[in-house]
Structure 1
């Protein structure tokens, strides 16, 4: 429960698509993901010509950085921004700048104050990883409108499905009529295709050829394309699973808070929590106790300012109960091996 994966296996539609595609595995998939882009466009109400697909959204974040930033340029992120943003800046030799957050949430004014003549890319995960917090689309629009035209705003919507469909539509609408805003998405989270590695980017038409020039040829394999198309054709299953995760997220958060933990409001499929004493050593001990007594891996959050937090992915009810029981046993001072499941 440490990698924000969906706990469900492939839906029957995805399983059938993978089976059928396996019979044609000797052939390359479409290098431009034509069928997948058409399906993405139809599902999201956008022009597929404004979409490029990649080997997970991480490939596309890397491509964007390589196209728009050079050594000596600045890449701007929030204080607790997604770790991949820092890695992309490091790969291209750009200087990473972090703007402070308010209550573990993006502060638009702080971002705008951090923009300089050397700023080239602003990466913003929203909902954010690892905090799970979210900025509404009005604030995002204010940010987009106030940025200088030479700064590219990249809105990473990897966890958007765990907010609302309306929110996702509002974020994509920010691309329309703007030349310096793109949105990145993934099939790894809500669609449960983390092992297939499929992501996509929605951007202005002038930018798509530049991204293709920097992206590898055929990086989304034929099996992954088939699985993603099938998942988009079975949105009822996707929405049912998202609803189940959101219900479990609320239940887990309430239970953790009843145990005295601090839990950040989450719009994702994970929760960021800290123990009652907010002591990083206690957090480390919880991580070890949960693994030793329940066999569950959760994520240590070591970023400066988040050392007292741990991140746990929302899973199936039985898995969540196992984690909550281990947490409850630790906080009660129980000896190892006595953890019991908390009520579902």
Structure 2
């Protein structure tokens, strides 16, 4: 039978799929997607409801009000801010903007699982640099930058390991990257960082004009369902990427919800602090139970279980708990409500490798698209 012809690269790319059980009729405890466990604040809900009355109108394609509010929040000019349908959509715009036949993209690995497919779909050659004890190896990444490097991505805190790089190491790294090569700091989880020696890339933008910082409203701000994020960089970069960003991609509902969330930051910060406290409690309990858990600075914990990852992930799935399993690497567990966290800790305490080698591979993520 004759079938339509598509790019050969699509044959080797696994499609993104959610963790098993999350969207069942009776959903599992949602500890796989790093979402906020808290319901939206009343002010956000009211703003969403009001925006729904204008569902028959297109949203502002420039996201003017939200752009200005973000600029005020970070003390930058609105011309340096670009809003998009989640930070991953803006990362895709960056990848497309630098895509040339010979271009490469350098990123850490293991890291955010969409880096490789975004690169390959745009025609960039992925250059995955192994982590060093769960951390971004910035020296090794700088060593891999060549004249063909079109983009460098650093996930800080790193997803899924939750580790961070310090200010001194970050500056030393940026000093080594040619100023003609854009560097993206993916700071989707930065609101959860509590280490004094770690700085946001926002404080370095004036020193490094090739630097871009991406942020999201999906995590700490609790707007994952609405798909809204932003990047901050030089006006030249923002003007260029605005040509690539899909028009009308940020809904009016998402824009007003983002505005409302920025106005409620004090209350949201309290929720983030509670998540950080739960993160500490979970890690300490897992360590006390004999599991290895790296020091973490996000809203999840990482269990580097290696070949036991699939067994542990299946054990959690059987217990009605959705976690994110990386086959052969480890398991990422989001910080949820105290009740969901208690259920996970009880599940973890009942697990042992010897008794859970049933071959259950639910929720396992394929690594077929990852360059070796």
Q: TM-score, normalised by structure 1?
A: 0.90
Shift of 1:178: 2.6
The alignment partner of 1:263 has SS state of coil
Gaps of 5+ in 1: 336-344
Corresponding residue of 1:116: 146
Structure 1 pair 209/321, CA: closer, same or farther in 2 (3 Å)?
A: same
Contact conserved, 1:300 with 1:309, CA < 8 A, in 2? yes
The alignment partner of 1:133 has SS state of coil
Q: TM-score, normalised by structure 2?
A: 0.84
| Bigger relative contact order (CA 8 A; separation at least 6) | 2
After TM superposition, which residue ranges in structure 1, 4 or more long, deviate above 4 angstroms? 164-169, 332-335
The alignment partner of 1:86 has SS state of helix
Is 2:331 the partner of 1:310?
Answer: yes
Structure 1 pair 238/134, CA: closer, same or farther in 2 (3 Å)?
A: same
- Residues of 1 paired with 2:336 and 2:346: CA distance? 14
Contact conserved, 1:44 with 1:169, CA < 8 A, in 2? no
Counterparts in 2 of 1:286-305, with a 5 A limit? 286-293=312-319, 295-302=320-327
**CA deviation profile, 1:268-300 (whole Å, cap 9, x unmatched):** 1011114xxx452x332222222222x111011
The alignment partner of 1:83 has SS state of coil
Shift of 1:83: 1.6
Is 2:297 the partner of 1:267?
Answer: yes
Shift of 1:176: 1.4
Q: CA RMSD in A?
A: 1.9
Corresponding residue of 2:364: none
Corresponding residue of 1:58: 88
- Residues of 2 paired with 1:262 and 1:220: CA distance? 40
**CA deviation profile, 1:98-127 (whole Å, cap 9, x unmatched):** 223221111221111111111110011100
Corresponding residue of 1:39: 69
Shift of 1:28: 1.9
Corresponding residue of 1:328: 349
- Residues of 2 paired with 1:175 and 1:18: CA distance? 33
- Residues of 2 paired with 1:219 and 1:86: CA distance? 23
Is 2:311 the partner of 1:285?
Answer: yes
- Residues of 2 paired with 1:279 and 1:232: CA distance? 40
Shift of 1:330: 2.0
**CA deviation profile, 1:182-230 (whole Å, cap 9, x unmatched):** 0011000100101000010101011112111111111111000000100
Aligned residue-pair number: 326
